[in-house]
Amino acid sequence: MAALINVPAKAKRGDVIEIRALTSHIMETGFRHTADGKLVPRDIITSFTCRYNGTEIFRADLFPAIAANPYLSFFTVAKESGKFEFEWIGDNGYSSTASASITVE
Amino acid sequence: MPTTRRQFLNLAGGVTVAGTIPIVTLRPLHATPAMLNNAIRNVVGEAQIRTGRVKLDIPPLVENGNTVPMTVSVASPMTADEYVKSIHVFNEKNPQPNIGNFYLTPSSGRAQISTRIRLADTQKVVAIARLSDDTLRQVAADVVVTLAACTEEMN
């Protein structure tokens, strides 16, 4: 699945940086019906995690009230050069990952 | 005795009211304020929740409840001694009262998160922050929704 990650390529040590992550997912609520009355089963992302050089820096539990193609923005302190890893986990065994690098001076 | 207009209307009104009650009880399509309170207590526990320090940025009037931008920020120095552990967001009238739980660390630097949410009706949105000393802070905002999300039919 396609993910859109926005992390600054460069930062000064100690800067607070914004990280934005968007992934494509229907986020089917499980509360909708088809025109002939059948309930559409729930299919959502339930968990998002961001790790910075292996350490978890942000985690979120998501519910059906999160809009389709879930977008999350959060902050972290730029401590060292390295890699951000993003992981989305959801219903029906859904799992997807993405990563981004940063150079800290 | 001929039925007067007033009697007829009373009777018709009574039938309508009686007729709608079973439908309402059979289909609790929306969360109620009691469910909101239960959901909050399930997530944050029984501790007292005070107001202040939390800011919830959400448009007061939205045309489309399918995607409503929302930002929660908490006034906190975000040091190892004093930081925000988590931010929890709830709604009053969607089919389910939870929106999201967001877990921060002292190295978050700034206690602020943004996302896009669904709102099925005109309602109240509540954001609660758990601080590092385990005290709770909350803020609520009212949002008027003209086109609802979640429960419409699929085409």
DSSP string, B68-129: EEEEEEE-----SSS-EEEEEEEESSSSSSEEEEEE--GGGSS-EEEEEE--SSSEEEEEEE
Q: What is the pLDDT of residues A40-88, one digit of tens each?
A: 999 999 999 999 999 999 999 999 999 999 999 999 999 999 999 999 9
Is B106 within the bounds of a domain? yes
Categorize the per-residue pLDDT at B26 as very low, low, confident or very high, splitting at 50, 70 and 90: very low
User: Span A3-104: which CATH code?
Assistant: 2.60.40.10
Is B6 within the bounds of a domain? no
Q: Does B104 touch chain A (CB under 8 A)?
A: yes
Q: Which of A33, A36, A59, A75 to mutate to test the interface with B (most CBs of B within 10 A)?
A: A75
Q: Give yes or no for a contact between A80 and A104, defined as CB atoms under 8 angstroms apart.
A: yes
Is B8 within the bounds of a domain? no
H or E element: which one contains A105? none
Total count of domains within chain B? 1
Question: Rounded mean pLDDT of B111-131?
Answer: 95
Residue of A nearest to B119 (CA): A65
Min distance A30 CA to chain B CA atoms (Å) = 9
Is B10 within the bounds of a domain? no
Q: What is the pLDDT of residues B43-95, one digit of tens each?
A: 999 999 999 999 999 999 999 999 999 999 999 999 999 999 999 999 999 99
Is B39 within the bounds of a domain? yes
pTM listed for this prediction: 0.85
Q: Which two tokens stand for residue B88?
A: 């929890």
Which one of B101, B107, B117 has the shortest CB-CB distance to A60?
Answer: B101
The domain in which residue B109 lies consists of 29-147
In this structure, what CATH number is given to the domain that contains residue B69? 2.60.40.2470
Categorize the per-residue pLDDT at A20 as very low, low, confident or very high, splitting at 50, 70 and 90: very high
Q: Give yes or no for a contact between B58 and B69, defined as CB atoms under 8 angstroms apart.
A: yes
Is B142 within the bounds of a domain? yes
